[in-house]
Chains A and B, each alone.
Chain A
Amino acid sequence: MTTVVSAAEEFVPPSAPDFWQPLVGEGAFALTRSMVVMVLVTIGLAVVMMMVTRRLAVVPGRGQFRLEGMYGLVRNSIGRDIIGSAHFKPYIPLLFTLFTLILVNNLMGIIPPIQFPTMSRIGFPLALALGVYVVYLVAGVRRRGIVGFLKNLVPSGLPWWVVPVVFVLELVTFLITRPVTLTLRLFGNMFAGHILLLLFALGGEYFLLHGGGLLTVISIPAFLMFFLFSAFEILISFLQAYVFILLASIYIAEVYADDH
Chain B
Amino acid sequence: MLEGNLAIIGYGLSAIGPGVGIGLIFAAYVSGVARQPEVRGVLQTIAILGFVLCEQLAIFGIALAFVFS
Contacts and interface: CB of A to CB of B under 8 A. Distances in A.
A53 interface: no
A189 B60 CA distance: 10
Interface string B40-69: 010001001100100110111011001001
Given A242-B48, A243-B48, A187 B56 contact: no
Contacts of B49: 246-247, 250
Nearest to A239: B48
A247 B45 CA distance: 11
Contact of A189 (B41, B48, B59, B66): B59
A191 interface: yes
Contacts of B59: 184-185, 187-189, 192
B48 A181 contact: no
Contacts of A15: 66, 69
Given A239-B48, A243-B48, A250-B49, A185 B55 contact: yes
Contact of B52 (A16, A191, A243): A243
A242 B51 CA distance: 12
Contacts of A188: 58-60, 62-63
Interface size class of chain A, counting residues whose CB lies under 8 Å from the partner chain: 10 to 19
Interface residues of B, number: 14
- Which one of B52, B55, B62, B69 has the highest number of Cβ atoms from chain A below 10 Å of its Cβ? B52
A172 to B, nearest CB: 15
A181 B66 contact: no
A188 B61 CA distance: 9
Contacts, number: 39
Contacts of B41: 77
Interface in A231-245: 239, 242-243
A185 B54 CA distance: 11
Nearest to B55: A185
Contact of A184 (B45, B60, B69): B60
Nearest to B61: A188
Interface string B2-25: 000000000000000000000000
B48 A185 contact: no
A189 B61 CA distance: 12
B45 A246 contact: yes
A15 B63 CA distance: 12
A15 to B, nearest CB: 8
Contact of A246 (B52, B55, B62, B66): B52
B53 to A, nearest CB: 8
Interface in A180-216: 181, 184-185, 187-189, 191-192
A84 to B, nearest CB: 14
B49 to A, nearest CB: 7
Interface of B: 41, 45, 48-49, 52, 55-56, 58-60, 62-63, 66, 69
Given A16-B66, A185-B55, 14 more contacts: A15-B69, A181-B56, A184-B59, A185-B56, A187-B59, A188-B58, A188-B60, A189-B55, A189-B59, A191-B62, A239-B48, A246-B45, A246-B49, A247-B52
